[in-house]
Amino acid sequence: MEEKSLTASILAARAAIAGLTPLREDCGRLCGAACCRSLPGEETGMALYPGERALCEGIPGFSLRETAWGTLLVCGGQCDRETRPLACRVFPLVPLWRDGTIRVAVDAGAKAVCPLRRLSACREDFVEAVRRAGQEIARTEAGVDWLQKLTAQQDELRALRGSAGG
């Protein structure tokens, strides 16, 4: 039952984003789609939200890796936009769990590759859609647990950046 609930949650979160993007035009033109490219010799990817693994298995061009943090989706930088994981759909933003509610912030990891380094650089309707997507994830206990872990990770990255003077 929990897996069905997780799948429903992730589908509702994806639907909340629908076709919205951070800018009205293709933001990949600003940076050469840096968020969809790995550096030579590196294999990077996006963490999957609870219930998302089943939706990404078997899709050509996607490989899934289990990490200590959870499932990581790795791709070659080209995909059907309809199959993208939620982390790609909300990028460069991230829903965070603060004081029992969803807050939206710029992903601390995005700041290294994305020219949209401020929340105000993104369309307001996109920011609101990311918040709604986070609320959908938070409808399950596993989703809240995952969002708490994600929030702690974001806080740690921000603290490291602050201590490094960046």
Does the pLDDT value for residue 132 go beyond 90?
A: yes
Q: What is the pLDDT of residue 123?
A: 94
Cis peptide before 115 (omega within 30 of 0): no
Average pLDDT, rounded, for the chain: 88
Instruction: Report CA torsion sign: 127, 113, 52, 137.
Output: negative
44/25 Cα distance (integer angstroms): 25
The predicted model scores a pTM of 0.90
Decide if 51 contacts 10 (C-beta within 8 A). yes
Most confident of 55-64, 74-83, 110-119: 55-64
Domain count, the chain: 1
Which structural domain, as residue segments, surrounds residue 147?
2-163
pLDDT category at 126 given cuts 50, 70, 90 is very high
Lowest mean pLDDT of 37-41, 79-83, 92-96, name the range.
37-41
Q: What is the pLDDT of residue 27?
A: 78
149/141 Cα distance (integer angstroms): 12
Does the pLDDT value for residue 115 go beyond 70?
A: yes
